[in-house]
Amino acid sequence: MKKFLGIELGSTRIKAVLINENHKPIASGSFDWENRFENGYWTYHLDDVWTGIQACYKALAAEYSEVFKEPLTEIDCIGISAMMHGYLPFGKNMELLTPFRTWRNITTSEAAAVLTENFRFNIPQRWSIAHYYQAILNGEEHVKDIKTLTTLAGYVHFRLTGKHVLGMNDASGMFPVENGVYNAGMIAKFNNFTNGDILSILPRIMPPGVESGSLTAEAVRLLDSTRTLKPGIPFCPPEGDAGTGMVATNSITERTGNISAGTSVFAMVVLEKQLANLHTEIDMQVTPAGKPVAMVHGNNCTSDLDAWVNLLGEAAAMFNDKIDKNELYTKLYQAALNGDADCSGLFACNYIAGEHLTGFDEGRPLFARGLNSRFTLANFMRTHLFSAMATLKIGMEILTEQEGIELDLLQGHGGLFKTKDVGQKLMAGALNVPISVMESAGEGGAWGIALLAAYCYNNGGTLEDYLEHKVFANHKINRIEPDKIDVTGFAAFLERYKNGLEVERVAVKYL
């Protein structure tokens, strides 16, 4: 049996998935972790990276051994994926020169503005090049010692293989990519006004399907603490979580896209042509196969919603100490379907972190209600679910209304879609686009990078054809069309939400 391993380091969970030659998961493991806010930056400790990866792999290997009655000693190809962007600068001995600054940091406004103006191409604050240039502008001491700049996936891949490389999608979240390479004109401009050589520190871009290193003998212990696994296993190019989400939902062809909704929310829309205008709210990236993608990204999605669910769970536990968390989410989400279409005058702003799409450097979660509002559990839950979708809708309006982009379908995945039909139905109404969820959506990006590992091993034909004909040919898909009542109700809620952002600005200032 051929076996392919995918490991993805998400914002709240590290997950490992082992699949067979039929692309079906046969073992998995996970590890929960959280970012920390330290010294003014959102960060993760790199020690926690390896603690989490080893815990994931240990659980996966144990499950495999239990099912197949043999130890897991050989894997045919491995792939690493992780949250994109951020800032991981290393010195000549691969020592980290400053704590990891994640995508969640909104601290590079000056650098992002200068780069966007000079490139005539939107450089978001969370992109690696914005963090790097901001460090230069700040005169940070470590800059002169940087020999390698990479992403979290690139770092893990390097430690396991010794190769300083990235897949196309992850690379396009560091520096603009065109036709499979870093944009030469922008490289020249950046070098000109920094008197440097940015290419010397960026990872080499690798196309999908190309072997990009192998597991070294020294690195086996980083993955498998028991050292049962044999070295020499090939790796596919490391990729970003946006790219693996596209692969896991088969959303890498024109007029399709996917929505990842969890701690953050983003939509990746594969374009038939480049956008006509520069929009600082829209990220321009590429698919793992190199096609142009417009990305609408919101820093905030379900974190505030999760906090309210936990609070309601605490209240319920006072009467029943055997509350099942999955059942709690299911019942509360389903209650939202019984609420008033427009949430009856309730308002919630879910900003825990800053939000570039609406101009916030910081966030303060808020909830408010009008005096004549129907303050029911159904309306309360519907309000918080709509709030988790509102910023995404504001960004999507730029594509659909200003650029005239047409979409046939969006594929949903992530925590917001785990409760059957609820998040899917409300998102279809919010965006006025059919939303589909595949039976495999729960596997997420770890499954997506495992598919890329399988494609690397079986490389033949395009990635698009491989996914369409060998992976998803017989997949079950649940498609929900927009409901006119939800569309109208969300439009009314969104108007209230936009007006309520003035209250959020006051909260940020005084709370």
CATH class, 4-249+441-471 region: alpha beta
Q: Is the pLDDT of residue 245 over 60?
A: yes
Tokens 């730029």 correspond to 398
Nearest CA to 8 out of 65, 64, 56 is that of: 56
Give the separation between CA 332 and CA 335, rounded to whole angstroms: 5
Angle between helix 109-119 and 128-137 (nearest 10): 110
For position 477, what pLDDT does the model report? Answer: 87
For position 165, what pLDDT does the model report? Answer: 98
**Number of other CB atoms surrounding residue 479 within 10 Å:** 13
Residues near 240 by Cβ (< 8 Å), separated by ≥ 6? 81, 82, 83, 84, 85, 151, 153, 167, 169, 170, 173
Per CATH, 4-249+441-471 and 303-439+481-510 having the same topology is answered yes
For position 442, what pLDDT does the model report? Answer: 58
Work out whether strand 353-355 and strand 360-362 pair parallel, antiparallel, or are unpaired: antiparallel
Give per-residue pLDDT as tens, 334-365: 999 999 999 999 999 999 999 989 999 899 99
- Token reading at 207: 């196309």
For position 106, what pLDDT does the model report? Answer: 85
Give per-residue pLDDT as tens, 433-491: 999 998 765 567 899 999 999 999 998 899 999 999 999 988 888 999 999 999 999 99
- Token reading at 398: 């730029």
How big is the CA angle at 102 (ends 299 and 354), to the nearest 5 degrees? 30
Q: Give the pLDDT band (50/70/90) at residue 414.
A: confident
Residues near 382 by Cβ (< 8 Å), separated by ≥ 6? 336, 337, 339, 340, 343, 426
Give per-residue pLDDT as tens, 292-326: 999 998 999 999 999 999 999 999 999 877 889 99
Give per-residue pLDDT as tens, 179-220: 999 999 999 999 999 999 999 999 999 999 999 999 999 999
The percent of residues in the chain predicted with pLDDT above 90, rounded, is 86
Q: Flag whether the pTM goes above 0.85.
A: no
- 8 Å CB contact between 173 and 85: yes
Choosing among 3.40.50.720, 2.40.50.140, 3.20.20.70, 3.30.420.40, the CATH entry for 303-439+481-510 is 3.30.420.40
For position 438, what pLDDT does the model report? Answer: 83
For position 443, what pLDDT does the model report? Answer: 63
Q: Own/partner pairs for 276-280, CB < 8 Å, 24+ apart?
A: 276/403, 277/402, 277/403, 278/116, 278/120, 278/121, 278/122, 279/122, 279/398, 279/402, 279/403, 280/116, 280/122
The whole-number average pLDDT for the span 258-266 is: 89
Per-domain residue ranges for the chain? 4-249+441-471, 303-439+481-510
For position 441, what pLDDT does the model report? Answer: 56
> CA dist 281 to 125, 356, 443, 494, Å?
11, 7, 29, 18
Residue 398 DSSP SS3: helix
